[in-house]
Amino acid sequence: MKMTSISGKTAVSLKRTIGSGTEEQRKTVSTIIEEVKKNGNAAVSAFTKRFDGADVADLRVTEQEMKEAYGMMKQSEIDILKSAICNIKEYHKRQLASSWFYHRKDGTMLGQKITPLDSAGVYVPGGTAAYPSSVLMNVIPALAAGVERIVLVSPPGKDGKLSPGVLAAAAELGIKEMYKMGGAQAIAALAYGTETIAPVDKITGPGNIYVALAKREVFGQVDIDMIAGPSEIAVLADQTADPREIAADLLSQAEHDTMASSVLVTDSRPLAEAVQKEVDQQLERLPRKEIARQSIENYGRIYVAETLDEAVSAVNELAPEHLEILTVQPEALLGKIRHAGAIFLGPYSSEPVGDYFAGPNHVLPTNGTARFSSPLNVTDFQKRSSIISYSREAFSENAEKIAAFARLEGLEAHARAIESRIREED
């Protein structure tokens, strides 16, 4: 793992160039979307045959299939799912926004009405990336928001079936509408609907480059969540931290993806050197060591700062997806952290604690976008409407000003709309 000394002037960055797809991929996606708009389920089935190698006559997952999948899980696994769901629900219900209003002395009422989206579609990847935790993290915020119709889609294996873990997680959350479809064809079916699938208002969830391109293309027709980049972690540590634990946490990001980035920022050179050694040793013993090694070699970095303040500045420059603070007093640094998706404080808040279990969402801004983006949230499934109820008193007091403002902007009909209401008796 490369080590770099930073002074105030050294630029640090987790940024990776994320492919926005080739011209050919974009064309493929456009074609798929057009086909699904035109031919509905038949097109989806044909693409499923072609891309997933599966014959799926009926796209909808049956109640029987849900039950079977649930039956395939061990009781201990179901118990873990239940505990995680309980924690995630407890956290997310606190994000729920409420409508509010207030009255001015002149009798005017102003406010903000909160309404859940009517429907949401969640994309869950297939194959080895078919994570039950993706189901929990995308569905629970929508449930907490009060979205009435939540639809899950996931590409089937060659046997035409979905991952039992994914189905079990969906069943545990009470999801009733699931389809065996993936790729751009699933995104198109969710955005535009087919003869049996009603369109949704918002699509969330991770996917491969085709899914990402399709989400970008249907954006505007429906809302989408962010386009997620490869995962990242930054660990901010002083000499009191345990190098063995830090190395294990860095590697837990690195095993995700060869493009994942793991960074240590510290004011302690001895710690930096100890972590460097530990990473090498632990790496050798990992089943996914080839992925982790590439990630560490290309996107892993140890930054050694002169002071803790300098280390904090570097972290803010990185704006990492995950940030662990492993210092003698982690809470004391919290106020100085401006940019991070999720912040893990102290030795028992290993990043995987948050991936599945603690409660906060694992859908987080990557690639420096924590400067302006946020974790997936209940309010992402709620929308606001402004409320304006002007009283007669307020109107007659301000009508002239409002009409004058309209004329200042050259909009005469706006001024006349106001003046049409000025009564003789006012």
Residues designated as active site? 321-322
Tell me the sheet residues that pair with 111: 101, 387
In angstroms, give the least distance from the CB of 375 to a second copy. 5
In angstroms, give the least distance from the CB of 358 to a second copy. 5
- For 145-184, b/e burial (b = at least 16 CB within 10 A) is bebeebbbbbbbbeebbbbbbbbbbbbbbebebbbbbbbb
Backbone phi, then psi, for 315, in 5-degree steps? -60, -45
Q: Is 393 known to sit in a ligand binding site?
A: no
In angstroms, give the least distance from the CB of 197 to a second copy. 17
Nearer to a second copy among residue 13 and residue 374 (C-beta): 374
Q: What is the CA radius of gyration of the chain?
A: 26
> Is the separation of the CB atoms in 123 and 203 below 8 Å?
yes
Cα 26 to Cα 29, 205, 221, 345, distances in angstroms: 5, 19, 18, 41
Sequence-distant (6+) residues with CB within 8 A of 363 are: 137, 138, 204, 206, 225, 226, 228, 375, 376
Q: Is 179 known to sit in a ligand binding site?
A: no
Q: Is 281 known to sit in a ligand binding site?
A: no
> Is the separation of the CB atoms in 292 and 282 below 8 Å?
no
The C-alpha atoms of residue 183 and residue 208 are separated, in whole angstroms, by 8
In angstroms, give the least distance from the CB of 319 to a second copy. 10
Q: Is 45 known to sit in a ligand binding site?
A: no
Instruction: Classify residue 424 by its DSSP letter.
Output: T
Nearer to a second copy among residue 67 and residue 401 (C-beta): 401
- For 379-418, b/e burial (b = at least 16 CB within 10 A) is bbbbbeeeeeebeeebbbeebeeebeebeeeeeeeebeeb
Nearer to a second copy among residue 158 and residue 423 (C-beta): 423
H/E stretch holding 262 reads: strand 261-266
Instruction: Classify residue 168 by its DSSP letter.
Output: H
Q: Is 92 known to sit in a ligand binding site?
A: no
In angstroms, give the least distance from the CB of 217 to a second copy. 11
In angstroms, give the least distance from the CB of 45 to a second copy. 28
The C-alpha atoms of residue 341 and residue 74 are separated, in whole angstroms, by 33
Tokens of 283: 């790496």
Nearer to a second copy among residue 66 and residue 226 (C-beta): 226
Q: Is 185 known to sit in a ligand binding site?
A: yes
Tokens of 378: 């209940």
The amino acid at 164: P
Nearer to a second copy among residue 55 and residue 79 (C-beta): 79
H/E stretch holding 119 reads: strand 119-123
Q: Is 256 known to sit in a ligand binding site?
A: yes
In angstroms, give the least distance from the CB of 302 to a second copy. 17
Tell me the sheet residues that pair with 177: 151
> Is the separation of the CB atoms in 89 and 171 below 8 Å?
no
Nearer to a second copy among residue 59 and residue 135 (C-beta): 135
Cα 388 to Cα 3, 103, 107, 385, distances in angstroms: 58, 10, 11, 10
Nearer to a second copy among residue 160 and residue 359 (C-beta): 359
Nearer to a second copy among residue 207 and residue 341 (C-beta): 341
Q: Is 112 known to sit in a ligand binding site?
A: no
In angstroms, give the least distance from the CB of 7 to a second copy. 21
- To which residue do tokens 């057009």 refer? 34
Annotated binding site for Zn(2+): 253, 256, 355, 414
Annotated binding site for substrate: 231, 253, 256, 322, 355, 409, 414
Annotated binding site: 123, 185, 208, 231, 253, 256, 322, 355, 409, 414
Annotated binding site for NAD(+): 123, 185, 208
